[in-house]
A and B are shown apart, each in its own frame.
Chain A
Amino acid sequence: MAPNSIHWFRKGLRLHDNPALREAVQGAATVRCVYFLDPWFAGSSNVGVNRWRFLLQCLEDLDANLRKVNSRLFVIRGQPANVFPRLFKEWKISRLTFEYDSEPFGKERDAAIKKLAMEAGVEVIVKISHTLYDLDKIIELNGGQPPLTYKRFQTLISRLDPPEMPVETLSDTLMGSGITPISEDHGEKYGVPSLEELGFDTEGLPSAVWPGGETEALTRIERHLERKAWVANFERPRMNANSLLASPTGLSPYLRFGCLSCRLFYFKLTDLYRKVKKNSSPPLSLYGQLLWREFFYTAATNNPRFDKMEGNPICVRIPWDKNPEALAKWAEAKTGFPWIDAIMTQLRQEGWIHHLARHAVACFLSRGDLWISWEEGMKVFEELLLDADWSVNAGSWMWLSCSSFFQQFFHCYCPVGFGRRTDPNGDFIRRYLPILRGFPAKFIYDPWNAPESVQTAAKCIIGVHYPKPMVHHAEASRLNIERMKQIYQQLSRYRGLGMRQVTCMLNVKTFPPLACITRRKEIDEKVVGSEKASHLCFTGKISVHCPAHRKREQSTSQLAEANL
């Protein structure tokens, strides 16, 4: 009996290179592609209007492309666990397919759905296509732990077989005799909602700088490759003022939502390289963008607390400051540092910023100036940044805040100098902060230093029309470098006050792995209530956090009283 299939879209919002979708249509009698939307979250969720719009555009595009093969997208309001049982019955489903989701909560959700499906007698087929490799294989190759340095990661994947080739796009031929039963009221029941229907006020909303969808993605990749071929030697293009602006060849949001297959991108890059360089082995650096993404997915897949500091075995516990006012100024582009504010404005308006711009604002928020937790920054990016998914966003924030991955902390991005060196004329600032347009290049990065006459001529008095700088950068960086040194000093087990023992700034990476520590004497002493220090194991093995210690976070007043 030919099965009735459901293909469940989550990421992987595309018809090209979609092996799970292919499985759905293979010999099927009926095929329905579903996407679950929980609109109740639209208002309260930490997802901004640009991300919602991008997603809706992806869904519209999917629907349009499915129509070309006589099918449609079914957008279903509600949660999968609640709705699937009904759908299985109503549509007499016997096969469910979806693309593998490597993130911990995705795995949990999918395990639950698999169970439901099994109970309903539904065959479940899962295929890997959101990542280049099977991440579990990388972890296995590394002795059961994900690599914590990018170099190690590169070494491991060079030992694996190359990624699988992209599979063919869904077509009439592939559909075969399978059909999609579509009702008269499909639009009402299962149509893609609009932003307004989700509760957004779209009046005055500028058009999307990054339009969502597979069609757009495929156009972009061709443009991207054309441009790459122009760049001789495939060298990384030098950073200039133009790089800061959204590019029509940018691909990161499309990779995140799965409008563009990473495997397709990989193979197209390889083909182009071989053609241009007449050389059969491209260097790993060619795939930089894809491999970083892969690296963070691998690091996160078995760590449900990857996005937290507490209880995260790979994250250093840093005594970040809780400061909602300061955080708000950063998030709302009111820091008084034009470079930072322009970047945050671009982020909020368009949903994308250059990766060096990300470094600048992440450093400013955390270890550079404000000393605010990277988790807060991560949440703001989650809301505003189109390509920020859970693994990559959390991983990058930990990296940029020197909370993990052995990142050296000496390098601090100056909120004045870094911008000035990138875009000396300040055009980026003028574009996103029109209030500062009148300032000459000399003062546009530090307008508070401009003499009154200049400020008056620019029709912008600092402190009145544009905020004063919220920190004194030299003082803040002095303090924070000292804080980071203290923390890394603690990690090196030296607990005294002496300075000669830890004179060096460059943090020494050779900490002994936890397994070698047999005497508990060397375990950090922590005061009442706090967990044992998360030990960073610098040979790449993550120390397993002792579960017994979680239990011990009981009230210690009982103990204190008992001892009186």
Chain B
Amino acid sequence: DHNGQCEITGQQDGGTLELEKEQQACKKVRKQMSEELEAEGSGESPDCDWSLLPQELLLHIFQHLPLLDRAYASQVCRGWNEAFHMPELWRCFEFELNQPASSYLKATHPDLIKQIIKRHSNHLQYVSFKVDSSTESAEAACDILSQLVNCSLKTLGLISTARPSFMEVPKSHFISALTVVFVNSKSLSSLKIDDTPVDDPSLKVLVANNSDTLKLLKMSSCPHVSPAGILCVADQCHGLRELALNYHLLSDDLLLALSSEKHVHLEHLRIDVVSENPGQHFHTIKKSSWDAMVRHSPTFNLVMYFFLYEDEFGPFFNDEIPITHLYFGRSVSKEVLGRVGLHCPRLVELVVCANGLRPLDEELIRIAKRCTQLSAIGLGECEVTCSAFVEFVKMCGRRLSQLSIMEEVLIPDHKYSLDEIHWEVSKHLGRVWFPDMMPTW
């Protein structure tokens, strides 16, 4: 069973399962009540006695209540108080750690945290920590982690909601807290540790204890990890299905490890390519490595986010690459977009933050022609002539389920004005469409 917050590994939505349980529990109550009726021997219906509600139903109801409502309910009577502490209700928890000085949002109450550690730490299975930008909050998260000794976690998420405050925590403090979880859990399935000071040795500990169960690892922007460190994970964790990391950790060896026979099909690979300094050099990945990936996992999503200066794209898009979701967070040149059209046949989503002041007509049309899976496109500060845009939409047709174009992108020409273009586009899309607008005042 789950609590809205938890990830269900394996099975899909537990809807039907719950419905069955609900029906069974209702049957039980009805049976109980009719028995009582018989016992009383009269035609009068007994008053609804809430204390007769069986535990399964109570649990079911409590699972639907947000924590605060549950806490109120738990004060009604001893029975409901016991129900409040049923282990099933404490499988999932999201610790929110905020300081008034750095966040507008409220934090999980410290008394509640103490209570959870004392009474429920061995019930916890799906845990996440949301911390604000203060080091204090990140340290509090580490303290809690260190105390989860009896925990056998399936999911752990360390999420910084503003600045990456885990990076401010003394590295040793962080690593030792994380190691507690790695060593005790032994069945970690999902791990989200972006923007943390995790390092190669701690990844080794993770692998040593959880290699059979690890399915998801999200670790973008972890500067202390090396390509060798992540390769160790790929080599040992053959069940790994989802992986997110920075480009500097990507290597041919890693891709080959993920495509090895022993390895399951990869479902999702997310790579962030971030420029630290202008003119930075990036290594290349061989086409053969990508080919191996596609052979092994034909349906995997390759998601790449680029945050580079325009002149740093040299090593990219010179060969065929199986990207499915592509995001350019900064300005990208016409030339590079041309290469994208040539080399990304699996492209599903393309988002371009900015380009420049020359129209992208040819590049878009080439993408429409060659990226036959393209279903979503977003254009920010770019320029496209209206005619070319209509041509592009016509060629993609109804497969374009997401078309997000800023109004300023479209340049009216002799064929279409701004007011006419949305009709044309709507026609080809098969639904009403307008460009995105920004307020002008």
Contacts and interface: CB of A to CB of B under 8 A. Distances in A.
A475 B276 CA distance: 8
Given A412-B329, A499-B218, A526-B67, A557 B109 contact: yes
A371 B242 contact: no
Interface in A457-512: 472-475, 477-479, 481-483, 486, 493, 495-500, 503-506, 508
Given A252-B441, A524-B4, A497 B66 contact: no
Interface in B84-114: 84-85, 94-96, 98, 101-109, 111-112
9 contacts: A322-B101, A399-B439, A414-B331, A418-B354, A478-B305, A495-B6, A496-B8, A559-B75, A560-B71
Interface stretch (A12-20, A218-226, A287-295, A329-337): A287-295
A183 to B, nearest CB: 41
Contact of A417 (B6, B190, B354, B404): B354
Interface residues of B, number: 100
A528 interface: yes
Given A411-B353, A421-B357, A319 B329 contact: no
Interface in A212-244: 233, 235-236, 239
B162 A292 contact: no
Most chain-A CB neighbours within 10 Å: which of B162, B163, B192, B439?
Answer: B439
B192 A408 contact: no
Contact of A396 (B107, B109, B439): B439
Most chain-A CB neighbours within 10 Å: which of B331, B412, B438?
Answer: B438
B65 A478 contact: no
A373 B104 contact: yes
Given A520-B65, A559-B71, A560-B111, 8 more contacts: A150-B439, A371-B162, A396-B439, A414-B331, A525-B4, A526-B66, A562-B75, A563-B74
B424 interface: no
A83 B325 CA distance: 64
A150 B412 CA distance: 21
B184 interface: no
Contact of A563 (B115, B325, B351): B115
A505 B349 contact: yes
A470 B151 CA distance: 41
B307 A478 contact: yes
Given A285-B419, A321-B103, A506 B349 contact: yes
A522 B64 CA distance: 8
Interface string A284-324: 01001100110110000000000001100000010111110
A456 B66 CA distance: 61
A235 B3 CA distance: 54
Interface in A394-432: 395-396, 399-400, 407-408, 410-414, 417-418, 421
Nearest to B130: A319
B378 A410 contact: yes
Contacts of B68: 526, 528-529, 552, 556
Interface footprint category on A? 35 or more
The 4 nearest A-B residue pairs measured at CB:
A496-B7, A411-B380, A319-B161, A560-B111
A285 B380 CA distance: 20
A259 B92 CA distance: 59
A283 B419 contact: yes
A369 to B, nearest CB: 11
A505 B325 contact: yes
Interface of A: 150-151, 233, 235-236, 239, 252, 283, 285, 288-289, 292-293, 295-296, 309-310, 317, 319-323, 355, 359, 371, 373, 387, 392, 395-396, 399-400, 407-408, 410-414, 417-418, 421, 449, 472-475, 477-479, 481-483, 486, 493, 495-500, 503-506, 508, 519-530, 532, 552, 556-557, 559-564
A392 B159 CA distance: 34
Interface string B123-141: 0000010101100000000
Contact of A408 (B275, B324, B404): B404
A321 B3 contact: no
B290 interface: no
A496 B9 CA distance: 10
Contacts of B94: 525, 527
A287 to B, nearest CB: 11
B374 to A, nearest CB: 12
B83 to A, nearest CB: 11
A478 B329 contact: yes
Given A504-B349, A505-B351, A477 B330 contact: yes
Contacts of A289: 440-441
Q: For chain B, what secondary structure do more than half of its interface residues adopt (helix, strand, loop), or is it mixed?
A: mixed
A145 B100 CA distance: 34
B199 to A, nearest CB: 20
Contacts of B402: 504, 506, 508
A504 B376 contact: yes
A505 B378 contact: yes
B157 interface: yes
Nearest to B244: A499
B113 to A, nearest CB: 9
B438 A323 contact: no
Contacts of A295: 439
A500 B331 contact: no
B278 interface: yes
A395 to B, nearest CB: 7
B325 A503 contact: yes
Interface stretch (B27-35, B172-180, B266-274): B266-274
B308 A474 contact: yes
A106 B220 CA distance: 49
B264 to A, nearest CB: 14
A127 B108 CA distance: 50
A299 B82 CA distance: 47
Nearest to A446: B278
Interface in B380-403: 380-381, 402
A413 B353 CA distance: 8
B325 A528 contact: no
B226 interface: no
Contacts of B4: 493, 495, 521-522, 524-525
A319 B216 contact: no
A352 to B, nearest CB: 11
Contacts of B441: 252, 289, 292-293, 296, 355, 387, 392, 396
A89 B89 CA distance: 68
Contacts of B308: 474
A477 B274 CA distance: 10
B216 A407 contact: no
Contacts of A359: 438
B196 interface: no
Contacts of B106: 527-530
Contacts of B102: 321-323
Nearest to A524: B4
Contacts of A387: 441
A412 B155 CA distance: 32
A528 to B, nearest CB: 5
Most chain-A CB neighbours within 10 Å: which of B106, B242, B301?
Answer: B106
Given A520-B64, A557-B109, A503 B303 contact: yes
Nearest to B112: A560
Contacts of A414: 330-331, 353-354
B299 to A, nearest CB: 10
A359 B439 CA distance: 9
B329 A323 contact: no
Nearest to B105: A319
Given A418-B354, A505-B378, A410 B404 contact: yes
B416 interface: no
B164 interface: yes
Nearest to A235: B412
Contact of B436 (A396, A407, A412, A482): A407
Contact of A478 (B107, B221, B325): B221
B77 interface: no
B193 to A, nearest CB: 11
A449 B351 CA distance: 28
A355 B378 contact: no
